[in-house]
Amino acid sequence: MPTIHAVQGDITEAEVDAVVNAANSAMRGGGGVDGAIHRAGGPAVLRDCVERFPDGLATGDAGWTTAGELPARWVIHTVGPNYAAGQRDRSLLESCYRRSLAVADELGARTLAFPLISAGIYGWPKGDAVACAVETIAATATEVTDVTLVAFDAQTLAMVESELRGAVP
């Protein structure tokens, strides 16, 4: 099990082997974390998305691209369920974390930064999004040694830290 900790900040500045992008299924950039990663990573990220994922990516799946100009080496893109659009199967959200860790293992990445997948514009209830992230990462066998959950604001950071105190010894 990796060490899991939380920080408040900008995931595009994370100095880790790979950052996880909460992508949309088209894999062509978007808003929120997805847009921020594409902007900060530059055109190489989009070029790699187009080349590696010509038909996009399914909800709950994950794949990788270059990180372009980000300090990380790779971006692991995962497509979370859109709760606001009726995709409310928690196993899809859990799959995002498990698949991202599996892709990290394939790459040899040992340090990873995750946003809270689906908790922004996709509308997953934040408390459950936090619980799902912590529970799934803690329960997934992986070679990743260090996971940073990057919270956008102080309230979310407090929620993640509280969940970590309750879930991780």
Active site residue 34: yes
CB 84 within 8 A of CB 122: yes
Q: What angle do CA 2, 53, 97 make, to 5 degrees?
A: 20
CB 58 within 8 A of CB 79: yes
Write down the catalytic residue from 34, 48, 89, 153: 34
Q: Number of C-alpha atoms within 13 angstroms, CB side, residue 68?
A: 18
Inter-helix orientation angle 32-41/43-52, to 10°: 110
d(CA 82, CA 70): 26
Contacts of 28 (CB under 8 A, 6+ apart): 46, 49, 50
Q: Which residues are designated catalytic?
A: 34
